[in-house]
Amino acid sequence: MASASSTFKFLSLLVALFAVAEMAISGDPDILSDFVVPQNATIIDGAFFTFTGMRALVGAPPVSAFKVSKATAAEFPALNGQSVSYAVLQFPAGTTNPPHTHPRSAELLLLVDGSLQVGFVDTTNRLFTQTLQSGDMFIFPKGLVHFQYNADSQNSALAISAFGSASAGTVSLPTTLFATSIDDNILAKAFKTDVATIQALKAGLKP
């Protein structure tokens, strides 16, 4: 009969192997073909590999609130299996892209126009910040909480972000914490405040 110690070691090994397996399959899996054809596709030609969704941004009037225009596998199916996607970020004066994470990819941001204050927090809770000018690039490591803020009260900013996944995913901290069904008492204890404050924060996120 196996001892408690050997049973514990065996279970620990299983947990470790499972963790390694999870790391190995994280992000986009490799595909065994040149590209992935959707099941409902009948004709594959150059149009399949072309995304025209960003045309709407050309010559468009300025936006009044922060806006993200995405080209991910959801909008552009040809990206499926290619481990790449893009987003165009439009920042009117004084707007922010609130703290968030991308669980499946790092983000490489290119500031096309204007200025931005950007930053991320690593797993030791160290904050890294920088003020970007047009032409600058900044990398947000995979899975870390980060933000972008246009502190200019007069001018807008425009950035393009590249991701190493066709579906990087976005977890917005304000939405995740205060626009879901997490109990008010749990949030109040976590933030060392009262329920009334939590409810006020939740109310502020409602459309």
User: pLDDT tens digits for 60-104?
Assistant: 999 999 999 999 999 999 999 999 999 999 999 999 999 999 999
Residues of the chain with CATH 2.60.120.10: 46-169
Q: What is the CATH number of domain 46-169?
A: 2.60.120.10
pLDDT number for residue 4? 52
Q: Is 107 annotated as a binding residue?
A: yes
Structure tokens at 76: 């552009």
Q: Is the pLDDT of residue 12 over 50?
A: no
* Residue 92 Cα distances to 50, 62, 103, 115, 182, angstroms: 29, 8, 27, 11, 31
113's tokens: 């126009």
| Residue 193, phi then psi, degrees to nearest 5 | -135, -165
8 A C-beta contact, residue 119 and residue 127: yes
CA dihedral sign of residues 172, 29, 124, 186: positive
pLDDT of residue 20: 42
102 annotated to bind ligand: yes
pLDDT band at residue 6, thresholds of 50, 70 and 90?
Answer: low
Q: How far apart are CA 120 and CA 130, in angstroms?
A: 10
* The pLDDT of residue 13 is above 50: no
This prediction's pTM: 0.82
Q: Tell me if 97 is assigned to a ligand binding site.
A: yes
Q: Is the pLDDT assigned to residue 16 strictly greater than 50?
A: no
Contacts of residue 86, Cβ cutoff 8 Å, sequence gap at least 6: 70, 71, 160, 161, 162, 163
- Which value, to the nearest 10 degrees, does the dihedral of the CA atoms of residues 54, 58, 64, 66 take? 40
User: Residue 63: helix, strand or coil by DSSP?
Assistant: coil
Residues 6+ apart with CB under 8 A from 150: 91, 92, 93, 94, 95, 96, 114, 115, 116, 117, 156, 157
Task: Look at residue 101 and give its three-state secondary structure.
Answer: strand
Q: What's the mean pLDDT in 191-202?
A: 94
pLDDT of residue 27: 66
Is 40 annotated in some ligand binding site?
A: no
| Residue 146 marked as a ligand binder | yes
